[in-house]
A and B are shown apart, each in its own frame.
Chain A
Amino acid sequence: MKTIFATAAVLSVIAAPAFAQSSDSTLLTSNVALICTIDAPSDTTVTLGSGSQGIGSVTAQCNSSTGFTSTVASANAGFLADSATTSNPTKYAYTVAIPGSAPQQLTTPYEFDSSTSGQNASLLTAVTYPISISVGAATGPAYAGNYQDRLTFSLTAN
C-alpha cells in the first residue's frame, strides 16, 4: 500500500506543467502611400509663326523607390492641324522644349524625365517644368482654320 502511494505522488509531480519562459510578438507596420502625379498646363492659344512661346508649366511628383518615367505625347504627331476638318491639308509642325531635353517634334511619345530604382530623389517633392513650343511654317497653303493639337503628359512609377 505504501509503495502504491509513493508511485502516485511521483507521477503527479512529473505531470504538472511548467512554463518558466514565454514569448509573444507585436507586428508594427505603417504605409507611405504611393504618390505619382502630373499636372499639364492649362489649354492655351499660341500665335502661329512667332517663334518660341511659353505655354505654362508641368508639375510632377513621384515617391516610388523603383523610379518613374515621364512622357509627353502629341495627338497629331507633332503638328497643329485643322480642328474642324481633316480635309484641310495644311499643318503646322512644331517642337516642344522641356528643360533638360533638346526641343522635340513629337512624332512619337517622348520620354522627358525618368529615374531608376533607388535613384528617385528628384521628384519626391513636386517639380515644375516650364514648357515652350516653337511653331514652324505651314505645310502647304495657309488656309484659314483653327489649328490645334493636344499634348498628353504622363508619369508612371516603374
Chain B
Amino acid sequence: MNRILMTASAALALATFAAPAFADEVNVSGEIAVVCNVTAPSDVNTLDLTNAGAQPIGAVNVKCNSYSGFKATVESVNGGKLLSADSPSAYSYAINYGVGPVSLTSPYVVFAAQPGDTLSIAAAASAAGRDYGISIEGISTTDIPYAGVYADTLVFTVDVQ
C-alpha cells in the first residue's frame, strides 16, 4: 500500500513539473509626433496706398501632419490698419486669401481643415505643405494723407484641430 501511495505521489510530482512556466509578452509601438508649422510671406514694403485693388503679398505655407486637421489664424497687430509714427492718419485694409476680403479688426480664422477634409490635410502633411496666396486690398483712408511710413504686422498661427 505504501508503495502504491509513493508511486502515486511521484506521478503527481511529475504532472506538476510538466505544466508551462515561461510565458512572457512585449508590446511594440512607435510614435510620429505632431508637427505643425506655418511660414508667413516675406515682409512687404511695396504696398501702394493709393491702390484699393488687390495687391498680392505672397503665400502662407502650412505644414501639419495631424490627421485631425488644422486651423490657421491671422491677426493684425494694428487691428487691420496701417499706422505711422509720423502721422495721426490711418489706412484701413483687408486681406483676401481667395474667398473675399476679410477685415482684421479681430483675429480671424483664415483657413482650416476639418477631419474628413482629406485633400487639405494630405496637402499640409506633404513635404511641400499647403500654400495659401494672400492679397491686401481695399486700402483706403478717411484721414489726411500725411507723409509718413505706414505699417502693420500680420501674425499667422497654425494649430491642430
Interface residues, chain A, with chain B CB atoms under 8 Å away: 2, 5, 9, 13, 16-35, 63-66, 118, 120-121, 124
Contact = CB atoms under 8 A, between A and B. Distances in A.
Contact of B38 (A9, A24, A28, A120): A24
Contacts, number: 129
Interface string B68-90: 00000000000000101011110
B149 A31 contact: yes
Interface string B45-80: 111110000000110000000100000000000000
Interface residues of B, number: 49
Nearest to B148: A32
A18 B160 CA distance: 11
Interface string B4-27: 000000000000000000001010
B147 A35 contact: yes
Interface of B: 24, 26, 29, 31, 33-49, 57-58, 66, 82, 84, 86-89, 91, 136, 144-160
Nearest to A27: B43
Contact of A16 (B33, B37, B47): B33
Contacts of A19: 33-37
Contacts of A29: 43-45, 47, 82, 149-151
Contacts of A24: 38-40, 155-156
Contacts of B136: 28
Contact of A17 (B24, B35, B49, B84): B35
A20 B38 contact: no
A30 B153 contact: no
Given A26-B42, A26-B57, A27-B153, A20 B66 contact: yes
Nearest to A19: B35
